[in-house]
Each structure stands twice: as structure tokens, then as C-alpha cells.
């Protein structure tokens, strides 16, 4: 039986190695993986590019509904597709926040109509919406619950440890946390409010390592008392990694490419508030600690924390400048570039962006390269330099601290549900994203 699509003259991630195999897709599924010539209605010459398991970005903010001047699901998913992402999980701090079933269903409907990739949405926790959370996590397309322990973009905030423990005890999904302690944060801002010449260089001090560490310690105590693991997002400090190294029975850990590849004060010298995010980009000693934790196996997943704002908003004088850095399009290439430069192995990248996210979120074999599996594939050229130009960047925000950076690899193609959706930087319009189905 002839394949619908064949990828030839490339390499394929098989048994944790890149091997010179062709891959054939029929009716949306992987039908052949072979070193022999295989036939297809459409044959794509990869010219040495590598077929990798479908990458997942498990933390993005696409701003729709309510904040569509910053980003939309269509624009954000287009950026994801162009960057080699096959599925995104979007956060609930939109306007209004995703705290009710009807608001979740509204997002899912928008995703079905406009998303270029597969998708899932988090339910947002508040002090009094546990009953709604229980309903939302039953909906196909809901990937978990998000708790903001410290205030960031949007209105969602839950500081109450007893309510957090109740949520953990009475649900069975991933519960992901923005771990900054709100009480300490308020004290810190108050301390700095009268400082002359306050600037973005003060951001890592105001949102200090102590602010992050206190929240993380609270979380682990809650996890122990509830008998549930917590998923801690965008860890940014050496103190947290030191604390968590013997706490893996109680948590899973995410890092971002921004914290792995940017450091203060240089990033603020070069980018100003365009490098401002929560938690902040910190000094090199913190970055080194994140790398040590990553390479030791302490870190489970990488998420972009794609958090777009307009250029005009980011240009406001600090602290009126909003926190957030776009990243869904640049994350895979940045991590693969670090792999090529021998900072980590290709297996580690695949674990961070496919194997571990699908284990954590109950995604079965999503994106795995195996016969009979639905084809969700991320294809990259790992041997040719690539420039992340302003013209290539597709987020509505129109900026990135990685703009014009030259790297040692770039996205070649993205396959969504068996459809060739992106090739050589062009969106082909052949994909229709679907809600992710969680199966714990």
C-alpha cells in the first residue's frame, strides 16, 4: 500500500539514536520506517534533516480571549508550528480567566477553529472554584490545573495553603504552580517603591530568590501532607534546585530556555525590559545551578513560558513594563542548538520536549516514532546554521531577546496528525489542531 507522504534522505529517531531511515505516513499514521526505498504519493527530500518525536510546549500564554492585542490562539499556534512544536498547553490567565467550564469550552472552540497545532488548556484555580475545577478536568482538552501562588500577568492568585491542599487531595490531574510567595513579594515591592531610579535591573532583587524559595518550600510541605506530587514551573534559582534535589518524590520540575541561556545583568543591558519575566532572569550562578540540575536528571520538562506583550507595553518605564518573553517558536531550536554545542545530549532534548511531558500528562505514545502511531513529528536540520530573524518570528508581539541570533540548527518541517503542516518556513494550511486527550 502506497504511503500518502514519505520523508526520505534524512535521519529518524529510532531506539534513542538518529539512524538513516525513511518514514512513510498513511491515513495519518506511521506506516513504514525503513532503510529501503519506500513509495509515497508525496515524497519530501529531507536532505539530511532529522525526524524527531513530536515536541510539546507545556506552558504558553496565548492571551485569547480578552487580550488579543498581545496574541491570539491562531497567531501563537502558528509560531509554535513554525518552530517545530506539535502541541501546546495554554495557561488560564486570560480575560476573563479560565475558571469555569463555559470559559474552558470557549477556548476549546477557538482552538478547534483556529489552532495550527494540537492543544490543551489549563483550568485556573481560585479560592472558591474547586467544584468547577472538578468539572473542567473531565473535559477533553483540559490538561490540568494552574495555581498562581504569586501575582503575575492577569488576576489569578491563590495564596491559601489549605485550599491548595484541598485541590490536590480532591483532583487527580497535574496541578502546576507559579511558585513565588505573595506575602514576601508585597513586602519586597513596598521596600523598593520609593527608590530613586528604579529600573529593570532591580527586577531580580524585588522578585528575589527568597520569594521563590519560600513558595517552593510551602509547596513541598503541601505535597507531603496531601500525598500528591506538584508540578513546579520555571524554577529559576540555585536555592530551589538545592532544596529540591532530594524531594523528587513530591514534585516534577520545569525550566525555561530563557533561564538556561540568558543571565543578568547582561540580558538587561542588551534587552532592557524585553528580558523581563516572572520569575526573573538571574545571575550566572543561578543559571549554572539550573544546568547542573538539568544534566543530573532533576529537571523533567522544558516549557517556553511564551508570554507575549506588545512592543509599546514592554517599552514602558519599569515597573510599569509587563513581565513576559515570547518563546514558543524559539524554544526547540535553542535547546537543539545547545545540544549541538555539546551542552546536553539529543536524548535529553527529546526527553524534555516529548518523553517526559507525555508521561507527566498522561499522553500515551503521543508523538513517539513507532509503527501505527499517529504521526506528530518535529523535523529539524541539525547541521546547517539558522538565523532567528525578525521576519521568521511569527508571534503577534513582534519581538524576542533571541531575535537575529545565529544557531547551529533550524526547523525543517512539522507534521500534525499525519498532515505535513509546515515545510521550509511555510505554513501549508493542511493541519487542523485537535484537543489533547489526557489519560491518567
CATH number of residue 297's parent domain: 3.20.20.140
Q: Which residues contact 401 (CB under 8 A, 6 or more apart)?
A: 258, 262, 267, 270, 271, 274, 275, 325
Judge if 80 and 165 occupy the same domain: yes
- Domain end residue (candidates: 306, 326, 360): 360
- Domain end residue (candidates: 345, 360, 375): 360
| Dist CA 194 CA 393 (whole Å) | 38
Number of structural domains, the chain? Answer: 2
Q: Is 196 a catalytic residue?
A: no
Judge if 146 and 25 occupy the same domain: no
**What percent of the residues of the chain are helix, what percent strand, and what percent coil, each to the nearest 5?**
30, 25, 45
Q: How far apart are the first and last CA of the chain?
A: 35
Cell of 309: 506583550
> Within a domain: residue 266?
yes
Judge if 18 and 128 occupy the same domain: no
Is the backbone peptide bond immediately before 279 cis, with ω within 30 degrees of 0?
yes
pLDDT at 153: 60
> Within a domain: residue 111?
yes
| Dist CA 62 CA 402 (whole Å) | 19
> Within a domain: residue 438?
no
Long-range contact set of residues 289-293: C-beta below 8 Å, sequence gap at least 24: 289/237, 289/238, 289/241, 289/242, 290/235, 290/236, 290/238, 290/241, 290/255, 290/259, 290/260, 291/260, 291/343, 292/241, 293/235, 293/241, 293/244, 293/245, 293/253, 293/255
Judge if 279 and 344 occupy the same domain: yes
Judge if 119 and 47 occupy the same domain: no
- Domain end residue (candidates: 329, 360, 391): 360
> Within a domain: residue 123?
yes
Q: Is 427 helix (H, G, I), strand (E, B) or coil?
A: strand
Judge if 329 and 289 occupy the same domain: yes
pLDDT at 152: 65
Return the CATH number at 8.
Answer: 2.30.40.10
Judge if 263 and 164 occupy the same domain: yes
Residue 159 host element (H or E): none
Q: Is 342 helix (H, G, I), strand (E, B) or coil?
A: coil
pLDDT at 429: 82
What is the DSSP track for 111-149? HHHH-SSEEEEEEEP-TT-HHHHHHHTTSTTEEEEEEES
| Dist CA 85 CA 54 (whole Å) | 7
* Alpha helices in 171-278, H assignment, sequence order: 182-192, 203-206, 209-226, 238-244, 257-261, 266-271
Q: Is 270 helix (H, G, I), strand (E, B) or coil?
A: helix
From first to last of its 440 residues, the chain has per-residue pLDDT tens of 799 999 999 999 999 999 999 999 999 999 999 999 999 999 999 999 999 999 999 999 999 999 999 999 999 999 999 999 999 999 999 999 999 999 999 999 999 999 999 999 999 999 999 999 999 999 999 999 999 997 666 568 898 999 999 999 999 999 999 999 999 999 998 888 878 889 999 999 999 999 999 999 999 999 999 999 999 999 999 999 999 999 999 999 999 999 999 999 999 999 999 999 999 999 999 999 999 999 999 999 999 999 999 999 999 999 999 999 999 999 999 999 999 999 999 999 999 999 999 999 999 999 999 999 999 999 999 999 999 999 999 999 999 999 999 999 999 999 999 999 999 999 998 778 999 998 86
What is the DSSP track for 44-100? EE-TT-EEEEPEEEEEE---TTT-TTT--HHHHHHHHHHHTEEEEEE-S-SSS-S-S
Cα 259 to chain centroid, rounded: 13
> Within a domain: residue 98?
yes
Judge if 9 and 95 occupy the same domain: no
pLDDT at 23: 98
Q: In 3D, which of 195, 193, 258, 244 has the Cα closest to residue 215? A: 244
What's the CA angle centered on 338, arms 334 and 344, to 5 degrees? 135
> If 0-12 CB within 10 Å is exposed, 13-18 middle and 19+ buried, where does residue 111 land?
buried
Judge if 275 and 394 occupy the same domain: no
* Alpha helices in 315-355, H assignment, sequence order: 331-340, 346-350
Judge if 66 and 105 occupy the same domain: yes
- Contact present, 8 and 46 (Cβ < 8 Å): yes
> Within a domain: residue 439?
no
> Within a domain: residue 436?
no
Q: Is 373 helix (H, G, I), strand (E, B) or coil?
A: coil
Q: What are the φ and ψ backbone dihedral angles of 61, each rounded to 5 degrees?
A: -125, 105
Out of 4, 305, 337, 351, the active site residue is 305
> Within a domain: residue 186?
yes
Which residues span the domain enclosing 40?
A: 3-51+367-427
pLDDT at 137: 97
Cell of 84: 517545530
Q: In 3D, which of 299, 295, 259 has the Cα closest to residue 279? A: 259
Judge if 144 and 224 occupy the same domain: yes
Encode burial over 224-246: b for 16+ CB neighbours within 10 A, e otherwise: eebebbbbbbbbbbbbbbeebee
Judge if 353 and 403 occupy the same domain: no
Amino acid at each position: 500500500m502506497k504511503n500518502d507522504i514519505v520523508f526520505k534522505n534524512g535521519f529518524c529517531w529510532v531506539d534513542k539514536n538518529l539512524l538513516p531511515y525513511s518514514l512513510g505516513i498513511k491515513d495519518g499514521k506511521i506506516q513504514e520506517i525503513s532503510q529501503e526505498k519506500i513509495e509515497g504519493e508525496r515524497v519530501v527530500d529531507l536532505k539530511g534533516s532529522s525526524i524527531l518525536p513530536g515536541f510539546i510546549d507545556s506552558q504558553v500564554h496565548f492571551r485569547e480571549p480578552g487580550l488579543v492585542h498581545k496574541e491570539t490562539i491562531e497567531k501563537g499556534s502558528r509560531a509554535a508550528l513554525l518552530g517545530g512544536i506539535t502541541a501546546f498547553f495554554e495557561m488560564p490567565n486570560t480575560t476573563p480567566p479560565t475558571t469555569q467550564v463555559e470559559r474552558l469550552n470557549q477556548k476549546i472552540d477557538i482552538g478547534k477553529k483556529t489552532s495550527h497545532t494540537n492543544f490543551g488548556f489549563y483550568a485556573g484555580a481560585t479560592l472558591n472554584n474547586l467544584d468547577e475545577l472538578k468539572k473542567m478536568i473531565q473535559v477533553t482538552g483540559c490538561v490540568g490545573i494552574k495555581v498562581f501562588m504569586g501575582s503575575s500577568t492577569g488576576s489569578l492568585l491563590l495564596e491559601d495553603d489549605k485550599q491548595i491542599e484541598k485541590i490536590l487531595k480532591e483532583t487527580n490531574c497535574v496541578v502546576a504552580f507559579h511558585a513565588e510567595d505573595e506575602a514576601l513579594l508585597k513586602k519586597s515591592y513596598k521596600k523598593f517603591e520609593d527608590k530613586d531610579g528604579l529600573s529593570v535591573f532591580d527586577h531580580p532583587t524585588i522578585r528575589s530568590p527568597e520569594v521563590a524559595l519560600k513558595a517552593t518550600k510551602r509547596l513541598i510541605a503541601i505535597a507531603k501532607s496531601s500525598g500528591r506530587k506538584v508540578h513546579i514551573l520555571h524554577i529559576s534559582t540555585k536555592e530551589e534546585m538545592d532544596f529540591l534535589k532530594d524531594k523528587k518524590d513530591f514534585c516534577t520540575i520545569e525550566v525555561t530556555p530563557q533561564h538556561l541561556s540568558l543571565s543578568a545583568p547582561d540580558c538587561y543591558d542588551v534587552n532592557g525590559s524585553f528580558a523581563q519575566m516572572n520569575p526573573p532572569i538571574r545571575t550566572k550562578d543561578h543559571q549554572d545551578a539550573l544546568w547542573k540540575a538539568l544534566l543530573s536528571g532533576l529537571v523533567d520538562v522544558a516549557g517556553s513560558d511564551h508570554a507575549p506583550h506588545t512592543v509599546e507595553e514592554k517599552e514602558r518605564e519599569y515597573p510599569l513594563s509587563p513581565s513576559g518573553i515570547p518563546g514558543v517558536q524559539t524554544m526547540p531550536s535553542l535547546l537543539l542548538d545547545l545540544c549541538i554545542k555539546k551542552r546536553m545530549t539529543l536524548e535529553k532534548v527529546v526527553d524534555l520536549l516529548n518523553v517526559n511531558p507525555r508521561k507527566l500528562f498522561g499522553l500515551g505514545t503521543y508523538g513517539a516514532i513507532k509503527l501505527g502511531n499517529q504521526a506528530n513529528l518535529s523535523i529539524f536540520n541539525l547541521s546547517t546554521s539558522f538565523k532567528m530573524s525578525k521576519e521568521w518570528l511569527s508571534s503577534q508581539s513582534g519581538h524576542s531577546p533571541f531575535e537575529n541570533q545565529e544557531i547551529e540548527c533550524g526547523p525543517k518541517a512539522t507534521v500534525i496528525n499525519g498532515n505535513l503542516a509546515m515545510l521550509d518556513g511555510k505554513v501549508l494550511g493542511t493541519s487542523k489542531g485537535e484537543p489533547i486527550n489526557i489519560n491518567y
